[in-house]
Chain A
Amino acid sequence: MEFQRRTAQLLHEDHQATVAIFETLEDMIVSAKRSTPDTTEASIRTALEQAIAAIDEEVSSHFAFEENELFTRLEDLGDTGIGEHLREEHQAILPISQQVAKLARRALEDGFSEVSWLEFRSQTGELIERMFAHIQKEEMALLPMLDDILDPETDMQLSENYTSNH
């Protein structure tokens, strides 16, 4: 996708980065199959570190920006449905992502045990699925709407706010 408004384009680029990181996690889970990954391996450490950084620094601020700056604008225009739906998805995604970050941090320190790996795999699987479906909806519905509703000035202001908080 390519968007006319910079705000939409920035959110889209965030989505791309998030998908790439979560796909690396997915690769890790798929290639591990039933065995427990060795967290001393560089590729495993990188995948876990990137996931933690994305969750800590990107996901929360991305969600907060959407909720505070975008959904409110849509609601002011009388379009309450999309904001309500995406907020509910944020509420479902945030606790799982924080749990995944916590498990990843623990794994980086102590490695995975059989039990902790199973828990990590299960939580990460759900997070990946929820995140991809959520991004798909935002790419399909929210970002094209921003192209429609934002005037150039508001777009400039919003995109500056967004980049300054990243």
Chain B
Amino acid sequence: MTSALSFLGGAKNRLLPADVPFSYFTAAAGFHVLAWMILLLGADDLPGFVGGPGLILAALHLLTLGVLVMTAMGAAFQLLPVATRQPLVRTWPARLSFWLFAPGSLILAYGMVDGTLAMLNVGAIGVGTGLAIFVILTADNLRRAGSMPLVAAHGWFALAALIGFAGLGFALIVDFDTGFLQHRQPIVLTHMLLAAFGFMGLLAFGFSHVLIPMFVLSRALPEKLGWLELALAVSAIVMSVVGMLLENVYAVASAAIIGLAASAVYILLMRTALRTSMRKRHGLSFVLIRFSWAMLMLSLFTALALSLEVPVPNGLTLFGFFLLAGWLLTFLTGVLQRIMPFLASLHAVNKSGAPPLLSELTAEGPLKLHAICHAAALVLCSIGIIVEAVALIRLGALSGLVGAIAFAAFTANVVLQLKRPKAS
């Protein structure tokens, strides 16, 4: 069997050792379980939540840092070198980044339960240094990327947003102790917008230009539309930040409209990929991915309604839930269930010593259970937030928890197949 390191770039080692991306993906699967568990415990506080220490803030950061950013880091470390055809300069910093970021996220989330400063500070240092290493490695890779300017441009803007949301995050933690921020709420919202739309959203859009055509075997997407999507998305993010910081509703409403236009162009591009796909069947992962695109639009329509002062019950909480759990979490679980078996197939061998089948590396049952439970969780929690029914939110969180456990079982299966002794 060919060495795992040799495929996708041979001597240049563009395929990282399996432990690098899989440590991120496995941790994300664990944080996913933890996030729903903490939401279940703190369900009482979810309707009307707009920030502040407590179980919801902890659950929110277990989801955003622990699942979303963790997955983005693992995927970026592995996929950027493949997409840009430039190897990662060293692999040990990617491992170090994980060992700072993963415990840091856990400690930070723990500190957020009751605002314990020591925990918040230690956690923030771990998260911050882990992210700093990620920024340096990714920037170095993007700097050398010549073949994929559109993906690289998404990456640069995502890194800029990361620096912005991390800086504001530090400011918010300092504010817990000193109260130096005169208007905390606009900073909280800007932090969330930069993290969710700026960093995660742009990375998701950028990687989609490579991953979606690869998954469905379609032709290259029209590049001009890709640049239009990026220009609109970046304009929307900048406009939303300006609107939030100046507390200007017109700027926020304009940002939502431009964001809707950016998302419409993005979805048009993705539909082009699906329409020109060599394959007709795209599987369960694309049910989730398509659903996530619908949730992206729904989150932006909710943002627009809120900025126009349309009375949406617990609208801000609902917007955050649609954005984070509906769009980003659904999208990433859809993508991860394709990436993990594919990457594992490059590293593993089956009993006969032949390259393994993807079906040997995946687990259909847990993935189906996850999809059903995740969809139920989104519906139940959304209704629960709107009608302020804690029982519905609990039921939704329980459903999300069962789905997350099923997804963790799928992840564990992939990792166990990887660890199986190789045939000689």
Interface residues of A (CB under 8 A from B): 1-2, 15-16, 19-20, 23, 26, 74, 78-82, 84-85, 88-89, 91-92, 126, 129-130, 132-133, 135-137, 139-141, 144, 148
Contacts and interface: CB of A to CB of B under 8 A. Distances in A.
A133 B217 CA distance: 10
B220 A141 contact: no
Interface string B269-303: 00000000011110000000000000000000000
Given A78-B11, A80-B11, A85 B280 contact: no
A9 B280 CA distance: 21
Contact of A19 (B85, B278, B345): B278
A81 B9 contact: yes
The 7 closest A-B pairs by CB, nearest first: A81-B6, A81-B10, A79-B10, A19-B278, A85-B2, A84-B2, A85-B7
Interface residues of B, number: 32
10 contacts: A15-B217, A23-B279, A81-B2, A85-B2, A91-B354, A132-B279, A135-B278, A136-B342, A141-B7, A141-B8
A130 B357 contact: yes
B18 to A, nearest CB: 15
A81 B358 contact: no
Contacts of B184: none
Q: Is the interface of A mostly helix, strand, loop or mixed?
A: helix
Interface of B: 1-3, 5-12, 82, 85, 213-215, 217-220, 278-281, 342, 345-346, 354-355, 357-359
Contacts of B217: 15, 19, 132, 135-136, 139
B355 A92 contact: yes
Contacts of A2: 219-220
A116 to B, nearest CB: 22
A56 B58 CA distance: 60
Nearest to B213: A1
Given A84-B2, A129-B358, 8 more contacts: A20-B278, A79-B9, A79-B10, A80-B10, A88-B355, A135-B278, A136-B214, A136-B342
